[in-house]
Structure 1
Amino acid sequence: MLVLTRKKGEQILIDKGQIEIHVIYQRRGVVALGIKAPAHIDVDRKEIFLRKQTNPQNTNIEEPK
């Protein structure tokens, strides 16, 4: 695993810049990231990804309230 440190406003580029990860903010142990990726690349939080794996017919999985 590659571990990188970034500050607010900095970016990480993946796959020759095809995917951009932007650090939006960090406060109280929470980090907000912005991710730009081509439409053919799925970007999910892990818990959403795992739900999709257990229920592949329903790709419109709603966030629990």
Structure 2
Amino acid sequence: MLVLTRKEKQSVIIDKKVEVVVLEVIGSTVKIGIKAPNGVNIVRKELLEIKEEKNELIELQ
């Protein structure tokens, strides 16, 4: 895992295609923006975990 420190308005570029920008920091909450080409799926990790749990439940039934 790459660990970086960024300030507001600073960004990180991934694979010359995806830009992750720190938009705002308030306390322990960070607001980020993600710029990516069409066709690149961006999903919050917790949503993927919920979907996986539901799929496991369906398989058990």
> Which TM-score bucket, shorter chain as reference?
0.7 to 0.9
Q: What's the CA shift string for 1:17-40, capped at 9, x where partnerless? A: x00000001111000000011121
1:10 alignment counterpart: 10
Secondary structure in 1 aligned to 2:51?
helix
Q: 2: CA distance between counterparts of 1:15 and 1:53?
A: 27
Could you tell me the percent identity over the aligned residues?
A: 40
Q: CA deviation at 1:53?
A: 3.4
Secondary structure in 2 aligned to 1:38?
coil
Letter matched to residue 32 of structure 1: K
TM-score by length of 2: 0.77
1:1-65 matched pairs, under 5 angstroms:
1-16=1-16, 18-55=17-54
Q: Which has the higher helix share?
A: 2
Q: CA RMSD in A?
A: 1.5
Secondary structure in 2 aligned to 1:40?
coil
TM-score by length of 1: 0.73
Stretches of structure 1 lacking an aligned partner (at least 5 in a row): 57-65
Q: 1: CA distance between counterparts of 2:36 and 2:53?
A: 24
Letter matched to residue 41 of structure 2: D
- Larger Rg over CA atoms: 2
